[in-house]
């Protein structure tokens, strides 16, 4: 098994493979990063092509711009590439097209875990691309974390990745805004966190219903209409300003909700906001 890239994540991937008893060749532009892995039995490859001689290559580099020269130098024809470099769906599809033209088995993947989680059941890795290639390498991929195959469109893993990360970033930004808001009155994160965690779990329970409404296009509600929530966002913006903190987080949501109300969705459920997003 060859591993291209020894940042935090690449090093964790190579370490998990070594821990499972695999022979591992590693390559990095800065060879000194390989030291701890060499102590565990990895072999240092002088070139990407040398790392690829194992037949199966994991690529986990910082960007696609960094990755392309390594892939082109790796002489991958007839070999398998598992691309774990983060990027856009179109970038993944471009590599997939290149791989097909070069006779390379290709699977694109995104890692939904931090480096410390690699090699544990808690680490989930999403894959898309060639299903036969994924099936052939599944046993190895299970060493890295729980593999989830999404389909043969090579861009799907990256699409899911960015969609899920968008949820995470939005949640974290909302939580940080909440901490700043209650903090203006001396409430500490330790005091606020139990209520926040319980509320976050409750909100997670809303997702299946929202998804069903989006799928059906029926936004009728007897629970909480959009205009009420838009008004609430107005109160949040007003209170944030009055308490002396920034309004960037709720203001953008208020503007989105207000647009949806103006488009005729005031009496509909929050799920109707997707029409304005679209």
pLDDT at position 52, please?
Answer: 94
Residues 104 and 174 placed together within one structural domain of the fold: no
Residues 174 and 134 placed together within one structural domain of the fold: no
Is the distance from CB of 54 to CB of 64 less than 8 angstroms? Answer: no
pLDDT at position 121, please?
Answer: 87
Residues 105 and 193 placed together within one structural domain of the fold: no
Q: Which of 84, 118, 153 is the last residue of a domain?
A: 153
Residues 31 and 117 placed together within one structural domain of the fold: yes
Residues 28 and 117 placed together within one structural domain of the fold: yes
pLDDT at position 107, please?
Answer: 98
pLDDT at position 268, please?
Answer: 98
Distance CA(170)–CA(172), nearest Å, equals 6
Is the distance from CB of 79 to CB of 67 less than 8 angstroms? Answer: no
Residues 133 and 207 placed together within one structural domain of the fold: no
Angle of the 89-102 helix axis to the 156-183 helix axis, nearest 10: 160
Residues 149 and 165 placed together within one structural domain of the fold: no
First-to-final CA distance of the chain: 43
Q: Dump pLDDT digits (tens) for 3-31.
A: 999 999 999 999 999 999 999 999 999 98
Distance CA(150)–CA(54), nearest Å, equals 26
Query: What total of structural domains would you count in the chain?
Result: 2
pLDDT at position 54, please?
Answer: 85
Is the distance from CB of 241 to CB of 184 less than 8 angstroms? Answer: no
Residues 142 and 38 placed together within one structural domain of the fold: yes
Residues 8 and 117 placed together within one structural domain of the fold: yes
Is the distance from CB of 192 to CB of 182 less than 8 angstroms? Answer: yes
Residues 29 and 132 placed together within one structural domain of the fold: yes
pLDDT at position 78, please?
Answer: 95
The distance between the two most distant Cα atoms of the chain, rounded to a whole number of Å, is: 65
Distance CA(212)–CA(108), nearest Å, equals 29
Mean pLDDT, the chain, whole residue set? 96
Residues 238 and 214 placed together within one structural domain of the fold: yes
Residues 196 and 229 placed together within one structural domain of the fold: yes
Query: 164: buried, middle or exposed (CB in 10 Å: 19+, 13-18, 0-12)?
Result: middle
pLDDT at position 21, please?
Answer: 96
* Residue whose tokens read 């991958």: 76
Domain CATH for 143: 3.40.50.720
- The Cβ-side half-sphere exposure at 265, using a 13 Å CA radius, reads 23
Q: What three-state secondary structure class fits 223?
A: coil
Is the distance from CB of 81 to CB of 107 less than 8 angstroms? Answer: yes
Q: Which of 153, 184, 217 is the last residue of a domain?
A: 153
Q: What is the pTM of this model?
A: 0.93
Domain that holds residue 131: 2-153
Q: Which of 110, 137, 153 is the last residue of a domain?
A: 153
Spell out, as residue ranges, where the chain has pLDDT lower than 50. Answer: none
């Amino acid at each position: 098994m060859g591993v291209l890239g020894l940042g935090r994540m690449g090093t964790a991937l190579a370490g998990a493979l070594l821990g499972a008893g695999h022979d591992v060749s590693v390559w990095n532009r800065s060879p000194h990063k390989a030291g701890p892995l060499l102590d565990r039995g990895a072999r240092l490859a002088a070139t990407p092509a040398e790392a690829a001689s194992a037949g199966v290559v994991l690529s986990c580099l910082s960007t696609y711009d960094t990755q392309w020269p390594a892939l082109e130098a790796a002489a991958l024809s007839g070999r398998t590439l598992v691309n774990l470099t983060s990027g856009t769906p179109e970038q993944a599809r471009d590599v997939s097209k290149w791989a097909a033209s070069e006779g390379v088995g290709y699977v694109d993947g995104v890692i939904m875990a931090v480096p410390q989680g690699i090699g544990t059941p808690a680490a989930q890795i999403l894959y898309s691309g060639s299903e036969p290639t994924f099936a052939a390498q599944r046993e190895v991929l299970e060493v890295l974390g729980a593999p989830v195959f999404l389909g043969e469109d090579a861009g799907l893993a990256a699409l899911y990745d960015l969609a899920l990360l968008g949820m995470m970033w939005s949640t974290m930004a909302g939580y940080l805004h909440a901490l700043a808001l209650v903090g203006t009155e001396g409430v500490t994160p330790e005091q606020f966190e139990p209520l926040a965690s319980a509320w976050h779990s409750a909100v997670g329970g809303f997702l299946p219903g929202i998804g069903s409404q989006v799928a059906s296009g029926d936004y009728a509600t007897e629970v909480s209409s959009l205009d009420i929530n838009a008004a609430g966002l107005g109160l949040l913006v007003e209170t944030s300003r009055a308490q002396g903190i920034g309004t960037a987080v709720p203001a953008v949501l208020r503007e989105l909700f207000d647009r949806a109300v103006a488009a005729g969705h005031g009496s509909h459920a929050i799920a109707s906001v997707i029409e304005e997003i679209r």
